[in-house]
Chain A
Amino acid sequence: MIAAFDWAEINPVHVILTVPAATAAIMILLPGYRLGARLNVLASLVTLLAALSLFYVRPPTNAYLFVDDFNVYLVVLTCFVCFTTSVFSASYIDHELETGKLTPAYTRFYHAMFQGMVFAMTLALLANSLGLMWVAVEIATMTTVVMVGIYRTPAAIKASWKYFMLASFGISLALFGTTLIYFTAEPVIGSGDAALAWTTLREHAEALDPEVLNLAFVFVLVGYGTKVGLVPLHAWLPDAHAEGPTPISAVLSGLLLNVALYALLRFKMLLAANGHALTPGPLMIAMGLSSLLFGALMLYRRRDIKRLFSYSSIEHMGLITFAFGLGGPLANFTGLLHMVLHSLTKSAIFFAVGHITQVKGTQDISKIKGLTVSHPLLGWSLVAGVVAIAGLPPAGLFMSEFLLVSSTFAREPVLAIVLVLGLLIALGNLAPRLQGLAFGAPEGNTGPVSASVVPMTVHLFLVIAAGLYLPASLVTWFQHVSAMLG
């Protein structure tokens, strides 16, 4: 029977979902944190390979799961960053055990939660049913809430509590919005799974009641917007990033925010397909620009290095939301590109920051100095990462920001002024921080650090390579998806 087993019949979507879920279950039972760390890397690698195969195999759509050109690239990105983070996390956790900040029992739990989070994020991206997508975002919240509080310090518990309260409040509103969508679709499509599946909703979008869609979108925007970290619903984000373990900060910033934004965009596409509903653009532009400005201003004189970069995440998510709110082929293109590049850059920065805070034993920026002298590799990686995130050439983020600014100038010159102002403030606030961190006489512990270099350098290499040369096939892919987004 085994000989008759056809490998080609395996649905990669099932592999992507079952491997992390099963690994999470096994990890709970497995003693030995080293084994756990290795298994974590292995499972993430298998998931990544399955995700890559989606480029060649397009599994059939059903009422629960589907793959289209839009979500496939986010699934691959998510699996890739989860894989590199698992490699980084192995060395990070090793150090935390040595210093006694975590006990082996906690790391077992940590690894199980990590895989649980991978499962939840990929499920949210692959879900066709909007209800299933909501459940997945909820599971992702649940796993990350616990991870944020894993150090059990009062600050960590407080951060995790704040995150739990705001995020569950947000996703509750998103569920109400989802219920409203079903409420209006049920008379048109008929009751059952089809009326909650995004693909059928899109087909029948014109027949849906535009007023209910408007109402639903407001709930969804506030709901999933909280998870994206849009101002004024961002309050959980800096605390959660600063107090949790750094691998989780990397995944939160790099991936979870993207997943929430993806959920929001699916609803936006329904409204666009309806034609009579309100245009979600202005709402998203307003929230995006205010997040951009707020994030940029809050970068000024931050004292905590992880908090600094979490505000930078708010700024960039604002930028991306603005791009999608503006809409049209070019702005959507820059939004998609920026989503990928921001993920890669921000997680690379957090990898570097994780090692830096471990070797220095502090997150206080004023106590970390002269990294390029004491730890050249970490220091220069941080420099490269910050130069990229500030939107300077040659990194890919420069290209996406440049394209966005020029297309905004062509269409809405007034908004472009605000946009450029935000970007300049961010640059002006990041530069002095970087100056102190990276250059000058070293301060604090200058001992060697056992850093896992590969994830960081691979990410930065990809970001810089994208700035110098984007493959034509990738460009046509993004253009195609931009057209889908409308």
Chain B
Amino acid sequence: MFTDPKLKLEIAYMLGGSMVVVSFGLLYQSRISAVINIFAVHATILGLAVAWQAQLQDTPNLYITAAIALVFKAGVIPLALHHVVRKMDIHRTIETVIGTGLTMLAGVGLVALAVMVMHPVTVRSGALVAADLIFALAVVLLAILMMITRRNAVTQVVGFMSLENGLILATAGVHGMPLVVEISVALTVLVAYVVFGLFLFRIRERFDSLDIHYLDTYRRVQR
């Protein structure tokens, strides 16, 4: 079906480009649960992009990376974050994103920067994957912008995870990079570890403390 090499490449670019578009969605969304949902979409596209690279480069171990993205990043982690958010009773919270318009403009500027920095470098190398590196850098820069503009810990974690998605897009896009699977496992473990260990665990401990505010919240959730 997809035998035309040009079409194959176009599909890879389309997937990479959609990640940049979804990153913009993460930037301006103000409801926390919506941010988590958009992240799940981000991770799903990453999974598809990596799987497509695996097929394109004929490197089967990239399928593992794709599976990690689809199962954990697009499934388990968003579900767990929804759970955390409901437990903390902030799922209805609307986070004021500082100056949406300005943030979007800054985002556009960052994407332009990514193109300006990476394009000359990738063109000279003549590699097929050139555009993927541009998209990856754009996703990384947008994620950093998101981490800066957000105040809530949950949305900061989401920002960090979208940064990771950009990195995995980069490593998967470069032809035959070794240790990609190990790196993606390490990244996923990092997130899982900190989100569930530090986060959930500490917050539960604070429920046990004498802080009335937390006790109140806890009881309401129990009911």
A in complex with B = yes
Whether A182 and B190, one on each chain, are in contact in the complex, defined by CB atoms closer than 8 angstroms, is no
Residues of the B chain whose Cβ atoms lie less than 8 Å from the Cβ of A72: none
For residue A183, CB closer than 8 A to chain B, the reply is: yes
Whether B175 and A186, one on each chain, are in contact in the complex, defined by CB atoms closer than 8 angstroms, is yes
For residue B76, CB closer than 8 A to chain A, the reply is: no
Interfacial residues of chain B within 195-210, with CB under 8 A of chain A in the complex: 197-198, 202, 205
Whether A176 and B160, one on each chain, are in contact in the complex, defined by CB atoms closer than 8 angstroms, is no
Question: Mask for A203-245, Cβ within 8 A of B = 1, else 0?
Answer: 0000001011001000000000000000000000000000000
Q: Say which one of B9-17, B36-44, B120-128 lies at the interface with A.
A: B120-128
For residue A184, CB closer than 8 A to chain B, the reply is: yes
Contact of B163 among A161, A169, A191 (CB under 8 A): A169
For residue A196, CB closer than 8 A to chain B, the reply is: yes
Whether B125 and A187, one on each chain, are in contact in the complex, defined by CB atoms closer than 8 angstroms, is yes
Which A residue sits closest to B133, measured CB to CB? A183
Whether B186 and A135, one on each chain, are in contact in the complex, defined by CB atoms closer than 8 angstroms, is yes
> In the bound complex, what is the Cα–Cα distance between A180 and B114 (angstroms)?
14
Whether B176 and A176, one on each chain, are in contact in the complex, defined by CB atoms closer than 8 angstroms, is no
For residue B112, CB closer than 8 A to chain A, the reply is: no
Whether B170 and A179, one on each chain, are in contact in the complex, defined by CB atoms closer than 8 angstroms, is yes
For residue B106, CB closer than 8 A to chain A, the reply is: no
Residues of the A chain whose Cβ atoms lie less than 8 Å from the Cβ of B178: 129, 131, 192-193, 195-196
Residues of the A chain whose Cβ atoms lie less than 8 Å from the Cβ of B205: 152
> In the bound complex, what is the Cα–Cα distance between A142 and B182 (angstroms)?
15
**B-side interface residues toward A, CB under 8 Å?**
117, 120-121, 124-125, 127, 133, 136-137, 140, 144, 147, 153, 156, 160, 163-164, 167, 170-171, 174-179, 182-183, 186-187, 189-190, 193-194, 197-198, 202, 205
Asked if A172 meets B197 with Cβ closer than 8 Å, knowing A129-B178, A131-B179, A182-B177, the reply is no
Whether A169 and B147, one on each chain, are in contact in the complex, defined by CB atoms closer than 8 angstroms, is yes
Residues of the B chain whose Cβ atoms lie less than 8 Å from the Cβ of A146: 193, 197-198
> In the bound complex, what is the Cα–Cα distance between A211 and B117 (angstroms)?
10
Which residue, of B170, B179, B182, has the highest number of chain A Cβ atoms within 10 A? B179
Whether A134 and B202, one on each chain, are in contact in the complex, defined by CB atoms closer than 8 angstroms, is no
The 5 closest A-B pairs by CB, nearest first: A191-B176, A131-B179, A193-B178, A135-B186, A179-B170
Whether B156 and A165, one on each chain, are in contact in the complex, defined by CB atoms closer than 8 angstroms, is yes
Task: Provide 27 A-B residue pairs closer than 8 Å at the C-beta atoms, listed in order of the A residue.
Answer: A131-B182, A132-B179, A135-B182, A138-B187, A142-B190, A146-B193, A146-B197, A149-B198, A152-B202, A152-B205, A161-B153, A161-B198, A165-B147, A169-B144, A169-B163, A175-B167, A175-B183, A176-B136, A176-B167, A179-B170, A180-B133, A182-B177, A183-B125, A186-B174, A191-B175, A209-B124, A211-B120
Which residue, of B117, B124, B136, B186, has the highest number of chain A Cβ atoms within 10 A? B186
Q: How many whole Å from B166's CB to the nearest CB in chain A? A: 8
Contact of B171 among A160, A169, A179, A191 (CB under 8 A): A179
Residues of the B chain whose Cβ atoms lie less than 8 Å from the Cβ of A215: 117, 121
Q: How many whole Å from B156's CB to the nearest CB in chain A? A: 6
Residues of the B chain whose Cβ atoms lie less than 8 Å from the Cβ of A172: 140, 160, 163-164, 167
> In the bound complex, what is the Cα–Cα distance between A160 and B183 (angstroms)?
23
**A-side interface residues toward B, CB under 8 Å?**
129, 131-132, 134-135, 138-139, 141-142, 145-146, 149, 152, 157, 160-161, 164-165, 168-169, 172-173, 175-176, 179-180, 182-184, 186-187, 191-193, 195-196, 209, 211-212, 215
Residues of the A chain whose Cβ atoms lie less than 8 Å from the Cβ of B179: 129, 131-132, 135, 196
Q: How many whole Å from B219's CB to the nearest CB in chain A? A: 21
List 6 other contacts, CB 8 Å, given A131-B177, A145-B194, A196-B177: A129-B178, A134-B183, A161-B198, A165-B147, A175-B171, A184-B125
Residues of the B chain whose Cβ atoms lie less than 8 Å from the Cβ of A187: 125, 127
Whether B176 and A192, one on each chain, are in contact in the complex, defined by CB atoms closer than 8 angstroms, is yes
Q: How many whole Å from A387's CB to the nearest CB in chain B? A: 39
Which A residue sits closest to B124, measured CB to CB? A209
Q: How many whole Å from A177's CB to the nearest CB in chain B? A: 10
> In the bound complex, what is the Cα–Cα distance between A187 and B186 (angstroms)?
27
Q: How many whole Å from A418's CB to the nearest CB in chain B? A: 31
Which B residue sits closest to A184, measured CB to CB? B125
> In the bound complex, what is the Cα–Cα distance between A132 and B178 (angstroms)?
10
Q: How many whole Å from A204's CB to the nearest CB in chain B? A: 15
Q: How many whole Å from A383's CB to the nearest CB in chain B? A: 38
Whether B140 and A179, one on each chain, are in contact in the complex, defined by CB atoms closer than 8 angstroms, is no
Which A residue sits closest to B122, measured CB to CB? A183
Q: How many whole Å from A386's CB to the nearest CB in chain B? A: 34
Whether B133 and A157, one on each chain, are in contact in the complex, defined by CB atoms closer than 8 angstroms, is no
Whether B194 and A164, one on each chain, are in contact in the complex, defined by CB atoms closer than 8 angstroms, is yes
Residues of the B chain whose Cβ atoms lie less than 8 Å from the Cβ of A152: 202, 205
> In the bound complex, what is the Cα–Cα distance between A441 and B23 (angstroms)?
61
Which A residue sits closest to B118, measured CB to CB? A215
Residues of the A chain whose Cβ atoms lie less than 8 Å from the Cβ of B197: 146
Residues of the B chain whose Cβ atoms lie less than 8 Å from the Cβ of A142: 189-190, 193-194
Contact of A168 among B120, B125, B160 (CB under 8 A): B160
Whether B198 and A164, one on each chain, are in contact in the complex, defined by CB atoms closer than 8 angstroms, is yes
Q: How many whole Å from B175's CB to the nearest CB in chain A? A: 5
Contact of B177 among A135, A145, A164, A179 (CB under 8 A): A179
Residues of the B chain whose Cβ atoms lie less than 8 Å from the Cβ of A138: 186-187, 190
> In the bound complex, what is the Cα–Cα distance between A20 and B92 (angstroms)?
45
Q: How many whole Å from A357's CB to the nearest CB in chain B? A: 23
Q: How many whole Å from B86's CB to the nearest CB in chain A? A: 21
Q: How many whole Å from B210's CB to the nearest CB in chain A? A: 13
Q: How many whole Å from A305's CB to the nearest CB in chain B? A: 26
Which B residue sits closest to A139, measured CB to CB? B186
Whether A145 and B198, one on each chain, are in contact in the complex, defined by CB atoms closer than 8 angstroms, is yes
> In the bound complex, what is the Cα–Cα distance between A164 and B193 (angstroms)?
11
Q: How many whole Å from B39's CB to the nearest CB in chain A? A: 16
Which B residue sits closest to A171, measured CB to CB? B190
Which B residue sits closest to A196, measured CB to CB? B178
Whether A176 and B137, one on each chain, are in contact in the complex, defined by CB atoms closer than 8 angstroms, is yes
